[in-house]
Amino acid sequence: MKPLYRDRLYAVYSDLHPRPDVESDPAIADLVVREWLDRMAGWLPIDKDAECLDVACGNGSLMLALKRSGYSRIRGVELGERQVETARRVAGNVVQADAVDYLEGRPLSFDFITAMDIIEHFDKKDVFAFVDALYRALRPGGRLIVHTPNAESPWFGVVRYGDLTHELAFSPQSLSHVLSVAGFESFEARECPPFVHDLRSCLRRIFWRVLRNFLLFWSVVETDSTGSGVLTRVFIAKADKPG
C-alpha cells in the first residue's frame, strides 16, 4: 500500500507542482516542445511508426513534442485525473492507470518509452519492479529515456526535497546500475542546461558553462576525477534493450 501522505499529495499534485500551460498558450507549448526535443536529440526512433509510450505523461507536453516530430503511434499513461484530462486535450491517447500495472499488462508492446520525472517517486523496494516492467514492455532493440533529479549536482536538494513524494535520488552512476541490473545496455547520461531560445537564456547558458567548469576543476582538485561530468539539477539518460 502507498503511504497515506502520498495519496493526499497526489490528489492535489497539479496544484502543488504546476507545469507550463501548453494547452492554452501556443508560445509556451512551442518552447516546451523545442526544449524536450533538444534534450532528446539523437535519441528518438528513426522509424516514425514506432510504438511510443510516455509514462507519467503529466500534461502531455512530451507527447506533443513527439507528435510534432511526426510520430503517430503515441500513447500516454498518467495517474492523476486532472493531468489525464489535460493530456488528452493536448496530445490525445492517454490512459488513467498506475504505471507499473499498465506496463505489466503490455509486454513487448513498445519500441520507445519515456519516463520523465517518475523513477524518483519509487522507493528502493519498488524501483526494480518499475524498471523491470519498463524492460518487459519494450520490444527487443527498444529504447528507454529517463529524466530525474541529479544527486551529483550541488543543487540537487532543491529538486529532491522540493517534492515530498520523491523517495530516491539518482546519480548517473546509480541510475546506470539500476538499469543494467534490469538488463538494459548502452547507457548514456546528459546534462539539462539552460535551453537557449532568446538573449537572456543565451547569457544564462554562457554563465552556466563558466560555473560548470569551475565545479569540474574543484572535483579534479579534490578527487582527481570529474566524476560523471553531469552537474545540472536534473539529468536525462537513455538505455537500450538488447536487440
Residue reference for cell 561530468: 229
Give 122-154 as a DSSP string: S-HHHHHHHHHHHHHHEEEEEEEEEEEEBTTST
Q: Is the pLDDT of residue 98 over 90?
A: yes
pLDDT tens digits, residue range 35-65?
999 999 999 999 999 999 999 999 999 999 9
Percent of the chain residues past pLDDT 90, beyond the cut: 85
**Homologous superfamily assigned to 4-197+229-240:** Vaccinia Virus protein VP39 (3.40.50.150)
Q: Looking at residues 105-123, what average pLDDT do you find?
A: 97
| pLDDT digit string, tens, across residues 210-233 | 999 999 999 999 999 999 999 999
| pLDDT score, position 190 | 98
What is the Cα–Cα distance from 241 to 141, expressed in whole angstroms?
Answer: 5
Task: Give the per-residue SS3 of 187-240.
Answer: EEEEECCCCCCCHHHHHHHHHHHHHHHHHHHHHHHHHCCCCCCCCCCEEEEEEE
Over 90: is that where the pLDDT of 118 sits? Answer: yes
CB atoms closer than 10 angstroms to residue 148: 26
**Averaged pLDDT of the chain:** 94
Q: State the pLDDT at residue 80.
A: 87
Question: Average of pLDDT values for 151-170?
Answer: 92
Nearest of 188, 143, 131, 136 to residue 50 by alpha carbon = 143
pLDDT over 70 at 3, yes or no = no
C-alpha cell at 48: 516514425
Output the pTM of the full model: 0.93
Ranges of each domain in the chain: 4-197+229-240
